[in-house]
Structure 1
Amino acid sequence: MNPITGNPVVKKRKVGKTSLEVTALSLGSAPLGGLYHDLSEADAQATVDAAWQSGIRFFDTAPHYGHTKAEHRIGNALRRYPREDYVLSTKVGRRFVPRTTPYDGSEGWSDPLPFQAIYDYTYDGILRSFEDSQQRMGIVDIDIVLIHDIGRVTHGENNARYWRQLSNEGGFRALDELRASRGVKAVGLGVNEGAAIQEVMAEYNIDCALLAGRYTLLEQAVLDDLLPECENRGVSIVLGGAFNSGILARGLKPETALKADNQKFNYGDAPPLIVERVEALERVCRDHGVALSSAALQFPYAHKVVATVLMGARNPEEVRLNAASFADSLPDELWDALRAAGLLHHSAPVPQRIDHADSGRP
């Protein structure tokens, strides 16, 4: 199937102040790396093919996903398509070396490849990571490079040391080199912490940031600080984790409640307060005849700094379901009801039906 005119999936927005444009819906590849459950090589290829057939032309990956497995799979899949027809991003900050200790499963990867990470945000580390990614994917031209998982919540007391690697040991300089002479069109961060993006923007000129899980139907605090600052600086958000690791994908319906990954929040089991909030969201959506997944995917894209919404999928069916959810026509009354119930931030922009028919930046 070919994308049709008016399909909201294929609507494009620019990345920051660059000339690079990405489709409204994009494919993240953590599931291709075996997040929670592994999948076959054939299923990985079929998942990327289904995304392409749905009109998606932006694909994100990282060495961390499946300990390099996702990069191999996304590269194998995308090399079948014309390089000029899609946008590709990956991440730097971890180098992978042969594993010397058994994998304990704590990161959620099912059957990862036999490599382990060394955090390295130095000049040499970032350039080596970039070149390793090129070779794993078999693709030279990488459009977007993101510093992966810098931040106090991720690294604790080690964060200051890693920050010095970026600031004083050439990490930011390596990004400048990639942007100036290695064909990279945009650089930024890939993090779960809004504060990390603000800290980097105060010191370094990024084009975009992949923010996972912090601007969703469950979390909107970044409307108070981060998103306005991104708007002022011309920095785009690549919105990951719209389902908050799974719980917003299918909600708490009895037929899915026993599937462990459907009640994941922020990569762990959902705490009671989150379950309660999801129940409230489901009630409002049900009252308006709307699937929770449709509201969850469409909500973040209403903010003009969000260039694209990354979805995760491990099979073609999930891709097609998510693409259909993104294209659902939702009643304006839904968002009024969610706000009235205290489930939306007072200043959160909400989707308008007209957005499905227009193109370009709102």
Structure 2
Amino acid sequence: MDIHATRGLGRASGNAIPATCMGLGCAQLGGLYEAIDDAAARAIVDTAWELGIRYFDTAPYYGFTLSEHRLGAALRGRPRGDYVISTKVGRLMEPDRSVRPGDCGWAAPLPFRPRFDYTYDGILRSHEHSLQRLGLDRVDILYVHDIGRVTHGARHGFHWDQLTNGGGFRALVKLRDEGAIHAFGLGVNEWEAVADAMAVCDLDCALLAGRYTLLEQASLAPLLDRCVERGVGIVIGGPFNSGILAGNRKFNYEDAPAAILARVEAIGAVCREAGVPMQAAALQFPMAHPAVVSCIPGAQSPAQLRQNAAWFAQAIPAGLWATLAREGLIDPRAPVPLPA
């Protein structure tokens, strides 16, 4: 898989922008689970640039604004037309001195507390605040962050009403039509939320975390098939399913249950037999689907990022995919990468 190759993102509105097939997810710049300092965060972005990565995804929620600050500082001074940046809306970050290390999984968050707000005014304010933290005059893509029934439980209806009837989507359309952004979509862990949103709004794209991976393909039909029909580009977040496909035994940000551990072991056994690192298979598998534009693993260090890039580019024999399908470890309907 060519790390430098680009695919069009934001196709539904005709504003397709070239995103590199491998991007950088920037949650780790916000200290996801482990703290990193400013110099280490800068080194990760510098390494991504050196490798040819030109798509960067962040969010106000990552490190309670820390990721946006660090990413903006690292990109400042680089030609603005040479990279694509996405951030997210749906949470407003409010000053709060009670924030402590470890809050919401952030090792060293800044003193801000998130408050969900999917209204018209909330979306516009979130966008403006992100520009200020990033130090940029524009971002390319805005994703509505963490909307969904699993995420919000009993409050889902309230937040969905803000987005649909309270003007949230209308604000995003306004920003796109005025040229303030090129594209918008959802950034979620729930594929069903993307399907619901496509029924009521003309999305350009979606960042789907952990729901179309080597481990699970429940979103294959009807969502990804529908995205191909509608020209909605998919960005794959969490290609290692919170790390279990990379060896950390975490799934959906928690300790993995026994059934998941057993399935991963079975996938790993097939990969070992083929002489292929499971991580390489995990990064390359989703890219075969025609709806998928980019895959954006995170990295805790420059060395980890270089390793991800090597796995992304590693040659994989076609027999691996055939064996995984034959043993029921991937959906037989799923497109698989062609051998180089």
TM-score by length of 1: 0.91
Shift of 1:106: 5.2
Are 1:304 and 2:290 matched, yes or no?
yes
Which amino acid in the other structure matches residue 245 of structure 2? L
SS in 2 for 1:225: helix
Are 1:211 and 2:205 matched, yes or no?
no
Tell me, which stretches of 5 or more residues in structure 1 are unaligned? 1-6, 252-261, 355-362
Rounded to whole Å, the distance in 1 between the matches of 2:167 and 2:301 is: 40
Shift of 1:16: 3.8
SS in 2 for 1:188: strand
Work out which of the residue numbers 151, 155, 174 in structure 1 matches 2:152: 155
**In the alignment, which residue of structure 2 is the partner of 1:179?**
176
| 1:173-322 alignment, distance < 5 Å | 173-249=170-246, 251=247, 262-322=248-308
Percent of residue pairs bearing the same amino acid type: 54
After superposition, what is the alpha-carbon deviation per residue over 1:102-142, rounded to whole angstroms, capped at 9, x for unaligned? 44835211011110011100111000000000000101120
- For the aligned residue pairs, the C-alpha RMSD in angstroms reads 1.2
Are 1:11 and 2:11 matched, yes or no?
no
Rounded to whole Å, the distance in 2 between the matches of 1:182 and 1:123 is: 17
Tell me, which stretches of 5 or more residues in structure 2 are unaligned? none
Shift of 1:224: 2.1
| 1:134-149 alignment, distance < 5 Å | 134-149=131-146
**In the alignment, which residue of structure 1 is the partner of 2:67?**
70
Rounded to whole Å, the distance in 1 between the matches of 2:337 and 2:45 is: 27
Shift of 1:83: 0.8
**In the alignment, which residue of structure 1 is the partner of 2:313?**
327
Which amino acid in the other structure matches residue 125 of structure 1? G
Contact 2:101 2:107 (8 Å CA) reproduced:
no
SS in 1 for 2:202: coil
Rounded to whole Å, the distance in 1 between the matches of 2:223 and 2:16 is: 23
Q: Which moved more, 1:64-73 or 1:159-168?
A: 159-168
Work out which of the residue numbers 71, 85, 88 in structure 1 matches 2:82: 85
Shift of 1:101: 3.8
Aligned length: 337
After superposition, what is the alpha-carbon deviation per residue over 1:143-190, rounded to whole angstroms, capped at 9, x for unaligned? 000100111000011111111111111111100111012420010000
**In the alignment, which residue of structure 2 is the partner of 1:258?**
none
Which amino acid in the other structure matches residue 64 of structure 2? H
Rounded to whole Å, the distance in 2 between the matches of 1:351 and 1:80 is: 37
Rounded to whole Å, the distance in 1 between the matches of 2:97 and 2:118 is: 22
Rounded to whole Å, the distance in 2 between the matches of 1:182 and 1:76 is: 24
Rounded to whole Å, the distance in 1 between the matches of 2:129 and 2:158 is: 24
Rounded to whole Å, the distance in 2 between the matches of 1:226 and 1:192 is: 13
